[in-house]
């Protein structure tokens, strides 16, 4: 039997720079009613689902809010209201700084530094 079970394709959009081969992964999105734009910085919740990175998130008592730890950058728009929402994240490589956002606002120097700490380099 020569069936194809699945194929994975990657089309770099506007945010991925082409001077370094990107490493990407697919993650399930936490359900919601938002559309995250390409270039949005993403964190992972306690269940490993993609959520918006939020360096100003309030920590729970005795812990750290997982939204404060950036995990990657969306490489295409992601709709959290879909039945089984998922997204494609760049987790290593280079990105174009002018397209990066944090909660829909242009990424600042602290956000760029957080990316650099996990080997994502904004140019």
Tens of pLDDT, residue by residue over 24-47, are 999 999 989 899 999 999 999 999
Instruction: State the pTM of this model.
Output: 0.86
Residue 114 banded pLDDT, cuts 50, 70, 90: very high
Residue 14 banded pLDDT, cuts 50, 70, 90: confident
Q: What was the pLDDT predicted at 5?
A: 53
The answer to whether the beta carbons of residues 46 and 71 sit under 8 Å apart is: no
Q: Which two tokens stand for residue 21?
A: 């081969």
Nearest Cα residue to 10 out of 18, 20, 22, 1: 22
Question: Per CATH, which fold does 23-122 belong to?
Answer: Virus Head Decoration Protein; Chain: A, (2.40.300)
Burial class (CB in 10 A: 0-12, 13-18, 19+), 97: middle
Mean pLDDT along residues 85-106: 95
pLDDT surpassing 50 at residue 60: yes
Q: What was the pLDDT predicted at 21?
A: 83
Mean pLDDT along residues 94-122: 96
pLDDT surpassing 60 at residue 75: yes
The answer to whether the beta carbons of residues 108 and 53 sit under 8 Å apart is: no
């Amino acid at each position: 039997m020569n069936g194809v079970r699945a194929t994975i394709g990657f089309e770099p959009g506007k945010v991925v720079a082409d001077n370094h081969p990107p490493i990407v992964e697919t993650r399930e999105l936490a359900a919601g009613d938002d559309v995250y734009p390409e270039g949005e910085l993403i964190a992972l919740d306690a269940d490993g689902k993609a959520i918006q990175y939020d360096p100003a998130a309030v920590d729970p008592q005795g812990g750290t809010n997982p939204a404060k730890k950036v995990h990657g950058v969306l490489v295409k728009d992601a709709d959290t209201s879909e039945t089984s929402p998922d997204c494609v994240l760049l987790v290593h490589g280079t990105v174009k700084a002018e397209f990066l956002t944090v909660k829909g606002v242009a990424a600042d120097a602290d956000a760029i530094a957080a990316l650099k700490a996990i080997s994502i380099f904004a140019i």
